[in-house]
Structures are given as structure tokens and as C-alpha cells.
Amino acid sequence: MRLTQTNDPSFRRYTCVSAYHTLGGANHSRAITPMPNANPDSVAKITLETSLDVLRKQKALGERALTQLDEQQLFEIIDSEANSIAAIVKHLHGNMRSRWSDFLTTDGEKPDRKRDSEFVISEGERTSDVVMGWWNAGWAYVFNALESLEPHDLDASVMIRGQKMTVIAAILRQVDHYAQHIGQIVLLAKHFKGSSWQTLSIPKGKSAEFEAEFRKKLAAKGG
């Protein structure tokens, strides 16, 4: 898929065009809702702010799951092919350090990274302090890098494992990756806690009640 821009003088109009989508022997495109008088810097600024917001929410969601666990549960493995929560956190730390250190100037796969070792927990690492140390240090790499970017930096390209991509593509790649692992952490934590799990979203059977309360609050704000 690529983005193409028309010469419409009243607004920027972008069209998603499939690299090669054939239906009845023709290429097809779908117009995205136009953005009147869109300023590229404004779009880039919104992209950065939104990416940061999503990542902060991912971090907070993971922490709400992690803080419900006792130390032993961080290292439990549900089967021989699974990773413990501690190993997932260690892997996230390794990935975050590698991808976000010198983000704009070096390959995101650092030569000193030992990815396989990220899934191995030594005896000396089997404490909650170590795990949370990985967690906090990893996210620090993410936010330090993203918060230092300016809108014009999104026009740049970066490398990951020798593959050139836009800064936007690299950011979205990591947002997607981290969401997968946060989901794993939440699922495992919920499994381990069982009936004592404190839900992180709308409780089962409470959707209608939640919706009514949400609309009540919205109306009170004049929304």
C-alpha cells in the first residue's frame, strides 16, 4: 500500500492504493476522508502525540496486571513452550533498548543484543525487583526516544536489521509488537489470579451498566 497525493488546491487528499489488487482486471483505490488545509507538521505532531499516548496506556495496562501478582507468579510457566511473564518483560527490555537507543542514527537491531538470552531467566534474576527494573528501564528507552522527536523527524528513515523504513513505520511496528506482549502479560496474569483477578476493563455482564453510567457522565459535561 502507498499514499498518493492529488493536486487539489483546497485540501490535501490522500488515497490508499494497493500495491497490486486485482478485481475484474483493474487496480482499485479507496479515498481516505480528506483533511482540509492539512498541515504536514500538524499531522506529524498528532502522530507523535498519539503514539506516545497509546504506548503510555500500554505501559499502564501492563502495570495494572503486574501489580496483582506475587513474586512466584512472575516466573510460572504454563507449559513447556510458553514464556513466563518475567521472560516476556526481559524480552521487552532487550527489544526496547535495542530499538530505541540512538533511534535515528543506528540500526535498531544492535550488534550487542543477545535476543535468545532474553527468554532465559537465571537464578540471580528471579526476583520481582529485577523484573520491574527491566520493565521500567525498557519503557524509559521508549519514552526518552519518542519524546525527543520533532515533527520533521517523521520524514526521516531508520534501519532495523538492515531494512530501511520510515520513522512512522518503525514507531507503529513497535506499538504493534508491544501490544502483543502486553496482551500476553494480561492473559497470563488473569489466568494465575483466577477468581481474585481485578478486571482491567468492563466486568463481565456489566456492559449495559457501564454504558449507562458513561452516557450519564457525558451528559453532565454537556457532551
The pLDDT assigned to 51 comes to: 97
- The stretches in the chain having pLDDT less than 70 are 1-38, 40, 223
Q: Within this chain, do residues 47 and 147 fall inside the same structural domain, yes or no?
A: yes
Q: Within this chain, do residues 107 and 188 fall inside the same structural domain, yes or no?
A: yes
Distance CA 152, CA 204 (A): 44
In 3D, which of 42, 20, 38 has the Cα closest to residue 29?
Answer: 20
Q: Within this chain, do residues 66 and 139 fall inside the same structural domain, yes or no?
A: yes
Q: Within this chain, do residues 78 and 169 fall inside the same structural domain, yes or no?
A: yes
Q: Within this chain, do residues 25 and 84 fall inside the same structural domain, yes or no?
A: no
pLDDT single digits (tens) 67-79: 999 999 999 999 9
Half-sphere exposure of 30 (CA within 13 A, CB side): 5
Sequence length of the chain is 223
Q: How far is CA 101 from CA 4, 105, 142, 169, in A?
A: 32, 9, 8, 17
Strand, coil or helix: 170: helix
The pLDDT assigned to 38 comes to: 60
The pLDDT assigned to 93 comes to: 98
Distance CA 59, CA 208 (A): 28
pLDDT single digits (tens) 27-79: 433 444 545 556 767 899 999 999 999 999 999 999 999 999 999 999 999 99
The pLDDT assigned to 22 comes to: 32
The pLDDT assigned to 10 comes to: 36
Strand, coil or helix: 18: strand
Q: Within this chain, do residues 15 and 46 fall inside the same structural domain, yes or no?
A: no
Q: Within this chain, do residues 122 and 208 fall inside the same structural domain, yes or no?
A: yes
The pLDDT assigned to 20 comes to: 30
Q: Within this chain, do residues 16 and 75 fall inside the same structural domain, yes or no?
A: no
Among all chains, which residue has been given the C-alpha cell 542514527?
105
In 3D, which of 126, 124, 32 has the Cα closest to residue 74?
Answer: 126
Number of domains in the chain: 2
In 3D, which of 109, 97, 90 has the Cα closest to residue 185?
Answer: 90
The pLDDT assigned to 213 comes to: 84
Q: Which domain holds residue 83?
A: 40-219
Distance CA 68, CA 4 (A): 47
Q: Within this chain, do residues 171 and 200 fall inside the same structural domain, yes or no?
A: yes
Domain containing residue 204: CATH number: 1.20.120.450
Q: Within this chain, do residues 79 and 184 fall inside the same structural domain, yes or no?
A: yes
Q: Within this chain, do residues 70 and 122 fall inside the same structural domain, yes or no?
A: yes
Q: Is residue 32 within 8 Å of 14, Cβ to Cβ? A: yes
Q: Within this chain, do residues 128 and 178 fall inside the same structural domain, yes or no?
A: yes
The pLDDT assigned to 41 comes to: 74
